[in-house]
C-alpha cells in the first residue's frame, strides 16, 4: 500500500507540473523534473527534484525580469518593479498560508505538496514574464 501511495503521489506531482498550465509550449525544466521524479521516487528524492526545479524556475524568472527591464521605457520599468514587489509579497503570503494548512496534516506527502505548490507559483510567474518578453520582442 505504501508503494502504491508513493507511486500515486509521484504521478500526481508529475501531472500537476506538466499540466498545471494550459500552455502548449513544453518547458525543459518540467521535463527535467519529470525525469528526476521518475528516477527518485522516494520522499527525499522527490523533494530534492522539486527544490532543483524551483531553483531553476527562479533563475528563469530573474532572467526574464532583467530582460524585460531592458525593453521597457521608464514608466514600464517602474510598473514592472512595482508589480514584481507586489508579486513577491503575494508569493510569500500564499506560501505561508498553504504551508500552514498542509503542515497540519499527517504524513510526509504534504511536505511534497507544499514544495510542489511553491514551485508552481514561481513557475507561473516565470512563464508570465517570459510571455511578456516574447510579446515585446516579436516583430
pTM recorded for the entire structure: 0.82
Alpha-carbon gap, residue 101 to 113, rounded angstroms: 11
What pLDDT sits at residue 108? 81
What pLDDT sits at residue 103? 86
Own/partner pairs, 69-75, CB within 8 angstroms, 24+ separation: 71/133, 71/136, 71/137, 72/136
Which distant-in-sequence residues (6+ apart) come within 8 Å of 132 by Cβ? 64, 68
Contact 46, 66 (CB under 8 A): no
Q: Where are the alpha helices (DSSP H) in 40-108?
A: 43-71, 74-103
Successive 10-residue mean pLDDT values, the chain, 139 residues: 49 51 74 93 92 98 98 97 98 95 86 94 97 92
Amino acid at each position: 500500500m505504501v508503494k502504491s501511495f508513493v507511486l500515486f503521489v509521484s504521478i500526481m506531482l508529475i501531472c500537476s507540473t506538466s499540466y498545471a498550465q494550459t500552455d502548449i509550449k513544453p518547458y525543459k525544466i518540467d521535463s527535467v523534473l519529470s525525469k528526476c521524479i521518475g528516477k527518485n521516487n522516494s520522499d527525499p528524492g522527490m523533494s530534492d527534484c522539486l527544490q532543483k526545479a524551483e531553483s531553476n524556475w527562479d533563475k528563469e524568472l530573474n532572467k526574464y525580469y532583467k530582460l524585460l527591464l531592458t525593453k521597457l521605457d521608464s514608466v514600464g520599468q517602474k510598473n514592472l518593479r512595482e508589480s514584481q514587489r507586489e508579486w513577491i509579497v503575494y508569493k510569500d503570503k500564499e506560501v505561508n498560508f498553504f504551508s500552514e494548512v498542509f503542515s497540519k496534516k499527517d504524513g510526509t506527502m504534504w511536505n511534497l505538496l507544499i514544495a510542489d505548490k511553491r514551485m508552481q507559483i514561481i513557475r507561473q510567474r516565470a512563464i508570465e514574464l517570459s510571455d511578456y518578453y516574447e510579446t515585446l520582442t516579436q516583430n
